[in-house]
Chains A and B, each alone.
Chain A
Amino acid sequence: MLVPLSWLKDYVDIDVTPDVLEEKLFSCGFEVEEKYEVGKDISNVVVGEVKTCEPIEGTHLHLCTVDAGEHGLLQICCGADNVAAGGKYPLALIGAQVYATAKDHVTVEGVMTIGQGKLRGYDSYGMLCSGVEIGVTEDMFPGAGYNGLLVLPDDAVPGADVKPILGLDDYIFDVSITANRPDCQSIFGIAREVAAVLGKEIKEPALDYTESDVAIDFNIRVSAPDLCPRYIGHYVSDVTIGESPLWMKRRLALVGCSAISNVVDITNYVLYELGQPMHAFDYSYLEGGEIHVRRAENGEKIVTLDEKEFSLTSDNLVICDGVKPVALAGIMGGLNSEILDSTNAVMFEAAKFAHDNIRKSSKALGQVSDSSMRFSKGVDEYTTVMAMKRALHLIEELGCGKVSKTAFDVNTGNSIEPRKLTVSVARVNGVLGITVPDEDIVRILTGLNFAPELNGDELTIYIPGYRVDMESYQDVAEEVIRMYGYDHITPTFIPTAKVTSGGYNLKQRSELKIKNALCAAGASEGVHYSFFSPSDFDLLRLPEDAPERFAIKLMNPINFDLSLMRTTLAPQMIKAIARNQKNGILTGRIYEMGNKFLPKSLPLTEYPDERETISIGVFGDGEDFYTLKGLVDVIASALDIKFDYEKSSKTFLHPGRTAKVICDGVEVGYLGQVLYEICDELDMRVPAYVAEIDLRALTKYYGKDRKFIPLPKYLEEKRDFCFVMDKSVTCSTVEKEIEASCDYITKIELFDIYEGAQLGENKKSLAFSVVFTPKDEEFKPEVIDGFVSTILKNLEEKYGITLRA
């Protein structure tokens, strides 16, 4: 929120520099996001009095001698048509900084530094300036808008800095206000805080006015008190619409609001000054002798001041006269009751509307105004009452109307008087952990208008009507400490807390163990969004009825590509591989551990299953199905379990290079090579392989006891076999058969694969080394021979596998 220093000074005697004020505001919870001097770009511009002024023949120029006080008498060439002897104008000295303008003398094109110039052969030691050149507008100083020199007042002293005269020495603070302090969304609200933090008196703006004898027959009723707990109306007669005085226009300009006409300016002025949006209806357009605040009828229409038409619903609140809607409550007035130059009587409105309703309406209708933004933050009824008085005072002060006797205050009975709250001082200090001296507590709370009464440990405060946020001793503690200073807080280390044990639990440790194991195996951990794109299903070639398509939709996604909660981690991994390839990384290993989201029903009626899942992707040189399989096996070995693999299929994976991963007979995932078509679609240059493992299914193996297996007492026997078989027989078939043939086998390892013409058509050879570990006694050679013959017999009988000759 923009706060001009000059405006603040109306209410508080500020005797500190802008820098100190910024620090003070920061210390009590109001961060100044930006602070700037109004005339920050202007320097070395002084009052210059033109002593002589002679036209230069054949040009539009004048050659002047200008009295610049202590800076001497300077010769200046001037092209402005209003330069005249005896006049006082802003004079930019050599070295001064002013705004550069385009040929039209109006459009600012940047900042320039004045040097010694020569015009038509005449030296010029400076420049007389227009309003535009020194950043002064008509709203800030009358006459400043003239396309010529800005004329300074007669009492300006030659050589004096022009900044104080033109208000260029003012500062604007852009203050950020936290959501709990709507009462500070105004200049006066900030002034109250400034007064408290500087220990100064707060001076209230004038609220007095005199009612005339005028009264009209009128009524105001509110039929939606839940959305409008207070509605104050006051009739003003004998209105003369005209321009606002300079001081008001200037202030509105400083906060970025353009002046329109006195009555409208008053409503805006009160909005910025007190934080209460107001509205003025042209009385002559109000039909039926009443104002009725009600929910709109479905389909009801209104055209607002900015000439936009809206079709309303019963969720919108409207202000109507006896016949039609005349305003979109809290958001914008209607075009049909706008203040015009011809307006001669006005009905003023100051109301409190439910902030969530205004927010929703404003959002739903796409219509935002200063008023709606202010209402959305919350307005208090104390200020609503005050604002009407202030507006009526300003009507009188500006002399633009007569305050009548016809006034309404329709309310639901909420008190605006101070609320009493009694708290224990010990509790207040207990929150803080320090003991703030009683006198400081009283001083601070007095400064914040809480009228504290301290009686032993019992502290009673009277909370002003505008501080709706104050509820308990915790709030009091916050008020005390932010004014007392957070630098008084001294570090302690939970001396009263009980000792607890901490750190990762078994599940978290196990997950970290898997991550570390994958890292040790050369894979880096990535993190992808929890949401993905509906088009990812198509990327994966998933059929319409694929379970993955049963996904939770975001009601308000950022865009289509981030509009579903992911049901598989694969597409993001595949895309990550493609992105890396695009970046010139042509080999790599990535894994992600994250949740997929499986709804039990749609739309959601209960928490969905957030299922911990791992995806792994490998690509490029040196990577293939088996390196990926190695990474999947890393997970198994991290958990001290074993995975089995069976040929399988997936719509997005190579039909000949896909396997499902099985643990204890349960399918827990898959791995395979990504379809070439998908690689092409994503402009990949090298093949990609992807696996996805359901980590949740493995949680039961977390923390499996690892028992030491004693080293064998007797010598192990190792035998190598080279088998010949049909190509269709899988490695795991052979392994399983060997394993099942003998109880003493502890290790079976494939060490060679061979396919060749001499084996015969459709034949291959697999070579295994098998380790037999004795249990209770040393093997006799004939025992091993027995094992071997059983193995050979079983393989031959079941699969026609023979030893290679």
Chain B
Amino acid sequence: MAELSELSEKLSAIKSQIEADLTGITSSKGIFEYKKSVMDSKEGKIGSLMKEMGKIPKEQKAEYGKMVNEIRNWATEKFDALDAEFKAAEQKARYEAEAIDVTLPSKKLKKGYLHPNTQVRNQIVDIFGSMGFSVYEGNEIETDHYNFTALNIPKDHPSRDMQDTFYLSPEFLLRTQTSAGQVHVMESQQPPIKIISPGKVFRSDDDATHSPMFSQMEGLVVDEGITLCDLQGMLDVFVKKIFGEETRTRLRPSYFPFTEPSVEVDVSCFQCGGKGCKLCKGTGWIEVLGAGVVNKKVLEGCGIDSDKYSGLAFGIGIDRIAMLKYGINNIKLLFESDLRVLEQIDD
């Protein structure tokens, strides 16, 4: 067993050599390289041991193999342990080196915003859409007939004075109200009708609080047995969703030629809760929309049987809601594409 005892000595020497070598290695990369050189099957101190196998007598091969494996495992464990130790230290150093000032400004991710009116419009459509209202978009350019006459506002009607109309010809005009679309719908469709009709409307008004173009949303329900109570019920749901669950509504008499009775709908001031503040001019209430039971003359004019069906209609100022909801103080800001305005509202 001279060979084996010789081998044993040789292995001890290798071990000592490796241990000595390792004290000079300080990085995981060094370990990697050293391990590679030691384990190299041709020239490595341990790797090449197996080459000797051929020279070992048959009956000693097993013992030889065992000893080589032992040293191989010993070395591997040693290397791995050191490797883990170095790697941990190296990661730690890297993390330390990569530390940043987390309070520096964030990188701006460019994002665009829907127009405040579109945001409000989407919210309103969500609410009424879930109640079964479809969305009808009428023309901006209308005829006198659809904008006025068919809505029970004949040529000599005093309420034409209420609206300064832009005329394009004696017959054509810029619609002054989204109600103009009502008639098109009722002419082309029999009840049940449930539509909302958002869009731009125009009046010859141009001052601090008026814009010659603004946005409205008309709502119309025509079916059997529709009453003023339904109007209150539906608008209750609407204002609660738009302005908050605590919001209350108040109906008060008003006048629109195409509804009878007509009401103005006020909501309890969402800023002061009804106590009175600057927004509500001290009254505790804010006027948000006009509504009423559709005048039977309008139904009949569209070929709808007013003995069988009744309807209700309401008109909401979309810009007005947007301004109230977001606190925008000047309606003109909505039409100037000022990015300082547009990039503020994200509802």
Interface residues of A in 351-383 (CB under 8 A from B): 354-356, 359, 376-378
Task: Find residues 130-161 in chain B having any chain A CB closer than 8 Å to their own CB.
Answer: 130-135, 137, 139-141, 143, 155-159, 161
Q: Is the interface of B mostly helix, strand, loop or mixed?
A: mixed
Q: Write the B255-293 contact mask toward A (1 if CB under 8 angstroms, else 0).
A: 101001111000000000000000000000000000001
- Chain B residue nearest to A529 in the complex (CB): B213
Is there an interface contact between A504 and B310, defined as CB atoms closer than 8 Å?
no
Decide: B337 and A590 in contact? CB cutoff 8 A: yes
CA distance A353 to B285 in the complex (A): 40
Q: Across the interface, name the chain A residue whose C-beta is closest to B159.
A: A179
Partner of A497 from B166, B226, B296 at Cβ < 8 Å: B226
Q: Are A431 and B227 in contact (CB under 8 A)?
A: yes
Q: Which residues of B contact A579 (CB under 8 A)?
A: 336-338
Residues of A within 8 A of B112 (CB): 518-525, 589, 591
By the criterion CB–CB under 8 Å, are B261 and A494 in contact? no
Whether A165 is near chain B, meaning CB under 8 Å from some CB there, is no
| Most B CB within 10 A of own CB, among A433, A516, A608 | A433
Chain A contacts with B in 466-521, Cβ cutoff 8 A: 472, 474-475, 477-478, 481-482, 486, 489-505, 508, 512, 515-516, 518-521
- CB–CB B230/A552 < 8 A: no
Contact A481 B228 (CB under 8 A): yes
Given contacts A477-B261, A492-B227, A552-B141, contact A530 B339 (CB under 8 A): no
With A179-B159, A524-B112, A590-B339 as contacts: A503 and B168 at CB distance below 8 Å: no
Q: Do A503 and B227 contact each other (CB < 8 Å), given the known contacts A27-B252, A554-B168?
A: no
Alpha-carbon separation in the docked complex, A773 to B190 (Å): 54
Q: Check B338–A478 contact: CB distance below 8 A.
A: no
Chain A interfacial residues counted at CB < 8 A: 92
> Does the CB pair A356–B141 fall under 8 Å?
no
Please determine whether A502 and B128 come into contact, CB atoms closer than 8 angstroms: yes
Asked if A86 is an interface residue, CB under 8 A from chain B, the answer is no
Give the docked Cα–Cα distance between A387 and B61 (Å): 139
- Report A357 CB to chain B, min CB distance, Å: 8
Chain B residue with the shortest CB-CB distance to A378: B158
Pick the residue among A430, A474, A531, A555 that contacts B260 (CB under 8 A). A474
The contact of A528 among B113, B134, B337, by CB within 8 Å, is: B337
A489 touches B251 (CB 8 A): yes
Q: In the assembly, what is the distance between CA of A244 and CA of B21, in Å?
A: 128
Enumerate chain A residues within 8 angstroms of B204, measured Cβ to Cβ.
Answer: 556, 558
Q: Which residues of B contact A583 (CB under 8 A)?
A: 338, 340
| A478 close to B212 (CB less than 8 A) | no
Q: Is B158 a contact of A496 with CB atoms below 8 Å?
A: no
Which listed segment binds A: B52-60, B63-71, B78-86, B169-177? B169-177
Q: Which residue of B lies closest to A590 (CB)?
A: B337
Cβ-based interface call for A595 (8 A) = yes
Q: Which residues of B contact A588 (CB under 8 A)?
A: 339
Seen from chain B, the residues whose Cβ lies within 8 Å of a Cβ on chain A are 110-115, 117-118, 122, 125-126, 128-135, 137, 139-141, 143, 155-159, 161-162, 166-169, 171-172, 174, 192, 194, 200, 202, 204, 206, 212-213, 221, 223-230, 232-234, 236-237, 250-255, 257, 260-263, 293, 295-296, 310, 334-340, 342-343
A-B contact pairs, 14 of them (CB 8 A): A178-B255, A180-B255, A432-B228, A434-B227, A474-B293, A474-B295, A481-B253, A498-B223, A502-B133, A524-B112, A525-B118, A527-B117, A529-B335, A585-B338
Instruction: Please give me the 9 A-B residue pairs with the lowest Cβ-Cβ distance, nearest first.
Output: A433-B227, A526-B337, A433-B229, A503-B129, A29-B253, A496-B225, A478-B261, A356-B156, A178-B255
Known A355-B156, A497-B194; 7 more pairs at CB < 8 Å:
A179-B158, A431-B310, A491-B236, A512-B122, A522-B112, A531-B212, A556-B166
